[in-house]
Structure 1
């Protein structure tokens, strides 16, 4: 039994915040209020799902409309002047929304894909006004190496209709809600989707042709912007990717994916949730219409926000596949189309969670980081309800709640990696063989805008002021439950589309919670003992071992050895970086009873850490490390048990953006949240490497 006071894994929420949350009953307010405010036509149509005709549904298009072709004149990029055989760390953001996403546009964001790329690569752009009613000018402190705009594809056509007074569907109820400007309406339009959702005749026309044509025009805008900003000169200063987001909120569960294309050979229009209700159909269509075509199209998908997926993101699920052979084929499709996963973004950390049933090995003190699901969506567990129980009742049961009410190990990346080992043993294929990365999910078009101290917000006029950004209020919507998000890092030979996409495909990638930490992780059966002291460490590691994202070769030693290393983010003159505190290796495996086991090994640095930060001033105290490195051997290795390993590099404590921005407010204007924060004022930023796998079968 769990009571509210004993909510498991809530260390990322401050004690004062938990107590105040219990007093005010803040859980779920931002979901319930807009539902009541905007019930109208949207709610009516959604409740009447049993008959699509009552909702004015348009039949899905034939899959041939997604056939890929080349959308730009192919060019031969010049060889990059900076190319490193041992690979270099490049930083980017593959999850960026602009005004082409309805849930950004409705918060007065007017920045479009060109603006997002301008910001990513060092130019200033405008954000919606703050308290002074003047548009805010923002500029990234350190330009990114690469970026992709990933606007929600579901309403590319509908949003164009709803903004055009000459369009026949402009006066529809749907468009009135979308244009309402009442904050959450477009978010509901986008996310409240049933397994039977379809486009609406009153908006798109009898056969959906108006929305289809407009969606293709918007898609062309996305393609053109990516082409304009992609640098194919020898300087190789910046890389962009044609991309979009597939935004499934099936059964109230976040099952979103970012779809990233290697080049400009892409489908004629993006495949959205309204076109393919299951991710299995998304993958199949992408394979058939893109990868298996003769167009040169290549693609991968990146699942994100599994922390609010009700356990469905990584459910062991092969719909329609009865035989084990067919399930293995499906598992391989998933592995090929989703080689990486987003472990961190503005809606929190999806790495792990303490207190989940079926997870053994004790608490991981760092699993309480940015627990968005505790406050923003998840229902608190009352007496008599079991933690981990998924509520999958009839529509009337989950419809008013909208967000997840389930905490399950299948919502977290660490346990998906372990579940993949079980499927590998059962099917011979691991569907969850995923590299780890992070991104922002900004809805302000500020790709890579992750600096805590001057974070300008996530959502247009929804958090345009410091006051909005530091509070979590049931009466005045604040945004303190969000964070600036993270960055994706790749180890690539050069800053080009081909090199970065190849790194994503082979999973030689890492994620950070914002800082530009550079982790290295190699595995082998024997490593040179003084490898860390060698000036050509990386080159030797590639000769002796496999890098992150790889399988250990067939066993030929007593226990695997790993090179674990990381460079701290040096920061900038204005915002110096925070030193590293420690390096950890996280190991996971499963037992015959289906339990997941986890072990966190301290490998380098200060295990406990003497450094701290004063939340009253945000001044750091104590020493840390500019770099850490060790050769580590698994002391508990069992050759009969398959296992997965990854590196976590952890900084010294620092102030969360809410703490820093509270200090920037005059003392008499600071809200209660500054004194009693819902989220702890002190955080430890981090980086995650992609895993290395050991198979007891030698595969």
Structure 2
């Protein structure tokens, strides 16, 4: 590792950070290597994934290759919100994007009404940026925004696994509110959440194997639950794969795992085939894991004019399974699935269009951490006398009592033969 950390004082732009990392790590004889993971892009005010260099000139091939070399992963979810996709006016119709979205586009907006602005689709939400990466690839031959997904807590407690909605200590500092403005009854600001987990598919639990998994982007993130997910893409995988005991072996042998590029078209099909398999969080002896509701595959692509598109495909489970949660008691109702699997063909595939695909696994509805506390204190917003001091936020217009926890796999990319991967 470098002798000293590289701080904002020495490197106040991403470009300067990469230069410092090359100088102090990569290009030394210390055996040093590095991966840069962009953090909290939903609060970047569109300034994180720029299309220009520090001098204002456009990204070129060498610069795009440099970004891709360093930024192998990106944070899709953490304590300060989800960065997956934007929900609001002008956005694609995906109701599940309305998940832990903060009401401002930069952290300073939390504290200053003068600086506060509502988020927009181009403020650093990853789906939008991934399509911009495809557009950059059309220009330079290299996609600079080609990441695997992880999630994390951003905790300040030194407790990276503290993601349970039912027992959230707050991440501001030893369970105490982050600022004096936080209601005493809640351990953290209402708009924040317990954060997520990063998951790696590695050969073994060793430093070298884990780093290699991050480097090849064979990773995924969850919003907290320990959901197990596999995602493979290829051209020749059998429709019976979900019923086979060698799903994983076949996925590697006849396809590529999450985080990879699809090979050139071949085999017996002209359209790509994807298999996604998920197991619910097994839970513990004290607390059961929540059932799964559905699996979706999200696709992004460029049309012949270079315009980006996104589409959500339901591939397994049932979005209308009738599962619900009683917000007064936080007891869940209805059944879901302990496991789900699907082999999905992209019937809308166009071999001349660059594209990316990732899977999203969604649990049945549950109470959010804030509602867990509100319900435990018998808050009834229709009965003012039940609202104890410090729990006023339970009845705030911005309070969303119900969530659906989830997992996001790293994408798999397709590049036409006329372009470079």
TM-score normalised by the chain length of structure 1: 0.55
Counterpart residue number, 2:133:
420
| Alpha-carbon distance in 2 for matches of 1:352, 1:512 | 15
Matching residue of 2:156: 443
Alignment of 1:533 onto 2:243: yes
Q: 1:346 aligns with which of 60, 67, 79?
A: 79
Alignment of 1:99-138 (within 5 A): none
Q: Which residue of 1 aligns with 2:320?
A: 608
How many matched pairs? 406
Tell me which of 394, 415, 421 is aligned to 1:695.
Answer: 415
Residues 312, 584 of structure 1: CA spacing in aligned structure 2 closer, same or farther, 3 A cutoff? Answer: same
How far apart, CA to CA, are the structure 2 residues paired with 1:464 and 1:313?
Answer: 26
Contact 1:588 1:599 in 2 (8 A): yes
Question: Quick one: distance in 2 between partners of 1:374 and 1:593?
Answer: 32
- Higher Rg: 1
Q: Distance in 1 between matches of 2:331 and 2:372?
A: 10
Q: 1:457 to 1:323 in 2, by over 3 A?
A: closer
Structure 1 residues 437 and 469: alpha-carbon distance in aligned structure 2, compared to 1, 3 A threshold: farther
Secondary structure at the counterpart of residue 447 of structure 1:
coil
Q: Which residue of 2 aligns with 1:239?
A: none
Question: Do the aligned partners of 1:304 and 1:341 also contact (CA within 8 Å) in 2?
Answer: yes
Confirm whether residue 585 of structure 1 aligns to residue 318 of structure 2.
no
Instruction: Find out whether 1:282 has 2:17 as its counterpart.
Output: yes
* Within-5 A mapping of 1:601-680: 601-665=313-377, 667=379, 668=386, 669=388, 671-676=391-396, 678-680=398-400
Mapped partners of 2:183, 2:303: distance in 1: 49
SS at match of 2:75: strand
Alignment of 1:559-574 (within 5 A): 559-574=271-286
Corresponding residue for residue 368 of structure 1: 98
Q: Return closer, same or farther for 1:407/1:379 CA change in 2, 3 Å cut-off.
A: farther
Q: Would the aligned equivalents of 1:364 and 1:600 in 2 still touch at CA under 8 Å?
A: yes
Native 8 Å contact 2:301 2:354 kept in 1: yes
What displacement does 1:558 show? 1.4
Q: CA deviation at 1:427?
A: 0.5
Aligned residue for 1:546?
A: 256
For residues 676 and 404 of structure 1, do their structure 2 counterparts lie closer, same or farther at Cα, with a shift above 3 Å needed? closer
Question: Which residue matches 2:226?
Answer: 516
Q: 2:169 aligns with which of 428, 452, 456?
A: 456
Name the structure 2 match of 1:223: none
188, 199, 214: which is aligned to 1:504? 214
Q: Deviation digits for residues 593-636 of structure 1, max 9, x if unmatched?
A: 55321100000000333111111111111110111001100121
Shift of 1:299: 0.7
Q: CA contact under 8 A between 2:327 and 2:375: conserved in structure 1?
A: no
Change (3 A) 1:469 1:599: farther
Structure 1 residue 468, shift from structure 2 partner: 3.2
Report the structure, 1 or 2, having the larger helix content. Answer: 1
Could you say what secondary structure the match of 2:86 adopts? coil
8 A contact 1:469–1:480 mirrored in 2:
no
What is the Cα deviation at residue 406 of structure 1?
5.5
SS in structure 2 opposite 1:564?
A: strand
Native 8 Å contact 1:369 1:683 kept in 2: yes
Deviations 1:280-332 (A, max 9, x none): 110121123211211100111111111111111122122337577xx211111
Residue 407 of structure 1 corresponds to 120
CA distance in 1, matches of 2:224, 2:30: 37
Contact 1:311/1:406 (8 A) holds in 2:
no
Q: Is there any run of 5+ residues in structure 2 with no aligned partner, and where?
A: 380-385
Deviations 1:42-70 (CA, angstroms, capped at 9, x unpaired): xxxxxxxxxxxxxxxxxxxxxxxxxxxxx
**How far is the alpha carbon of 1:571 from its aligned partner?**
1.0
1: CA distance, partners of 2:67 / 2:185 = 38
Q: What secondary structure is seen at the aligned counterpart in 2 of 1:446?
A: coil
- Correspondence 1:192-211 to 2 at 5 A: none
Which residue in 1 is equivalent to 2:67? 334
1:404–1:675 Cα change, 3 Å: closer
- Contact in 2 for aligned 1:614/1:620 (Cα 8 Å): yes
Residue 660 to residue 677, structure 1, CA distance change in 2 (3 Å): farther
Deviations 1:121-145 (A, max 9, x none): xxxxxxxxxxxxxxxxxxxxxxxxx
Pairing partner for 2:43 from 308, 319, 335: 308
Q: Any unmatched runs of 5+ in structure 1?
A: 1-265, 381-397, 472-477
> How far off is 1:470 after superposition?
3.6
Distance in 1 (CA, whole Å) between partners of 2:356 and 2:416 is: 11
SS of equivalent residue, structure 2 residue 201: strand
Over the aligned positions, Cα root-mean-square deviation in angstroms equals 2.5
* CA distance in 1: counterparts of 2:46 and 2:414, whole angstroms: 25
Q: Which residue of 1 aligns with 2:30?
A: 295
